[in-house]
Amino acid sequence: MTYLYLYLGIGLLVGIGFSVRGARAYAKAPAITEVAAQALDPDWQPPKRRWLPLILISSLIWPMLLLLLLVDRPLKPAAPMPEFAVTSQHLQEALSVVEIEARERVFDPLGTVPDVPFGHLNTAWQEFLAQCEEGGEFRRFAADWDAGWCRGRREGYVEMVDGQPGRFFMTLCKTLPEE
């Protein structure tokens, strides 16, 4: 509770300081719009400013805005985001590494993408192959994935380990339009 009083006290002092500084600056050089208004109408008077209510209101409101942020948070932590994993329902045809690399060779007539399998992602593909077993079986996969906040399409290749999907290399990750 001491921290709350300290917090409110600092807010009050800051509000008073800015208000006094603003009042002094206004007294020395009023805003140009007020000078122009007085030049156009000699009887014009600037509106009376009531500083004390503004100071009190601002020192009470600004901590309330921070409290709103705390109240808006859920009390329990959100459920962890589901992590994508390839399942047997996502599997499609079996392919060898040579067939995969032939399918994924990038042809760019302008020459901005290297003429290697997966183009700029070739290094990632080579690292993926280095982690896989020598002569392992690979299958293509395609899955519509619901991440909780959006639906997406994921495609790629997965290493089969003992007949089950293992490591995967994703080649497509695209958000699907909402229906």
Nearest to 100 by CA among 64, 70, 126: 126
User: What contacts 4, CB < 8 A, 6 or more positions away?
Assistant: 63
Whole-number average pLDDT of the chain: 79
- pLDDT category of residue 13 using cuts at 50, 70 and 90: confident
pLDDT at 160 over 70: yes
Cα angle at 85 between 151 and 168, to 5 degrees?
110
Tell me the pTM: 0.56
pLDDT at 2 over 70: yes
d(CA 37, CA 45): 9
Task: Please report the pLDDT score of residue 154 as a whole number.
Answer: 92
Determine phi and psi for 104, rounding to 5 degrees: -100, 15
Average pLDDT rounded to a whole number, residues 40-63? 68
Average pLDDT rounded to a whole number, residues 134-159? 87
